[in-house]
A = this chain, B = another copy of it.
Amino acid sequence: MSRIFNFNAGPAALPLEVLQEVQAELLDFAGTGMSILEISHRSPAFEKVLQEAKEDIKDLLDLPDDYGIFFMAGGGSLQFSCVPFNFLTEGKVAAYADTGSFSDKAFQEAEKVGKAVKVFSSKPQGYDRVPRPEEVALPDNCAYLHITGNNTIEGTEYFTYPETGDVPLIADMSSEILSRPFPVEKFSLIYSGAQKNIGPAGTVLVIARKDFVAGRDKNLPVMMNYETMLDKDSLYNTPPVFAIYIVGKVAKWLKKQGGLAAMEAVNRQKAALIYNLLDTYPEFYKGRAAKESRSIMNVTFNLPTKELEAKFVEEGKKRGLGGLKGHRSVGGIRASIYNAMPLEGCEALARFMEDFHQNNK
């Protein structure tokens, strides 16, 4: 076996320890005589998996009791529709902060449902940053403000969040959830596709104030009704058992690493190693994100030419650094350095960037 450092943006690296555990118990889970892929979602063995995953995530986030945790399917893209279906009711206006390709997609799904407005957009500047709190002014009758906590494609991230007063704040945190502590009590609902920081593709973690999801319209499609998902404890139908099982293992691994404060320390250290190269050779490694919005999850930059970018990706691969190509919509280079990327991976990337600059400047 020869494992590489995997800088893919999602699906992304998982902790090797987690993969090894999964491998070891793949034919017989917890003495059931069945694979985790074969057990009933209503069995005691899976019930334990689900409850422990929720408890561990609650611990990690220090989540107040008035929040519920549940798992859904369909990825962030189904959430883009679920949010307005549940909360963009007659006479209300949904507010969106447009900070990247995914926030724009979320906005478009809201427009199909009702009135939605962009209260901020960094699109004209190539999505180089997220708004400062004072830049976000909400409309009257605002149903909610939707933000994208970390912009995976563009490499920008919120470190302070807009003040919304009585207006519910909803966030897509698909690419930064559980990478650092944050003030969860500011949010009414948070959703996160698992395939970046917390698991494989196939499930979405939803964290929501219980009173916010209560009282939903009974005519919503049942699989989009947040109240039903919470009330049925993720078990209205057969949930994505395996993906939830992995999320649970990742949560335990995060606790073992020391929790979110410890993760933030190492994540910042990892990001600093790469951003340091961007700051040292700004004419060669041209960062895409404004400094105050630099994501500690996805570092995005361009090289002087497309040819050099292609060469960078190829030579990186030869040094065991995979997945460095930027998103097809924006090109350039992207290093995704989620929780599961070890410090050694970023050190190896930084050394490579130093050498590559030396040889190609």
Shortest C-beta distance, A222 to chain B (Å), equals 6
Stretch at the interface among A34-42, A154-162, A261-269: A34-42
A77 to B80, CA, bound (A): 19
A38 near B20 with CB under 8 A, answer no
Decide if A274 is an interface residue (CB 8 Å cutoff): no
Copies of this chain, whole number: 2
Cβ–Cβ contact B3 & A85, under 8 A: no
Q: Which residues in B have their C-beta under 8 angstroms from that of A195? A: 238, 241
Are B242 and A200 neighbours in the complex by a CB distance under 8 Å?
yes
Also in contact, A221 and B78, with CB within 8 A (given A27-B20, A73-B202, A202-B243): yes
Cα separation A33 to B316 with both chains bound (whole Å): 14
Complex contact A34–B6 (CB within 8 A): yes
Q: Is A281 an interface residue (CB 8 A)?
A: no
How far, in whole Å, are A193 and B239 apart by their CA atoms in the complex?
11
Which residues of chain B come closer than 8 Å to A241, judged between CB atoms? Answer: 11, 195, 200-202
CB distance from A215 to the nearest CB of B (A): 17
Beta-carbon contacts of A11-54 to B below 8 Å, as 1s and 0s? 11110100110110011100011110111111000000000000
Q: List A residues at the B interface (Cβ < 8 Å).
A: 1-4, 6, 8-14, 16, 19-20, 22-23, 26-28, 32-35, 37-42, 73-78, 80-81, 85, 105, 109, 112, 193, 195, 200-203, 219-224, 236-243, 246, 320, 322-323, 328
Supply 30 A–B pairs (Cβ within 8 Å), ascending by A: A2-B28, A3-B27, A6-B33, A8-B40, A9-B40, A10-B40, A10-B238, A11-B41, A13-B38, A14-B38, A23-B26, A32-B322, A33-B322, A37-B200, A75-B223, A75-B237, A76-B237, A77-B236, A77-B237, A78-B223, A80-B223, A81-B221, A109-B221, A193-B238, A201-B238, A201-B242, A202-B202, A202-B243, A221-B224, A240-B240
Given contact pairs A1-B27, A6-B33, A14-B38, a sample of 8 additional A-B residue pairs in the complex whose CB atoms are under 8 Å apart? A3-B28, A4-B33, A9-B40, A41-B201, A73-B202, A74-B74, A74-B223, A201-B241
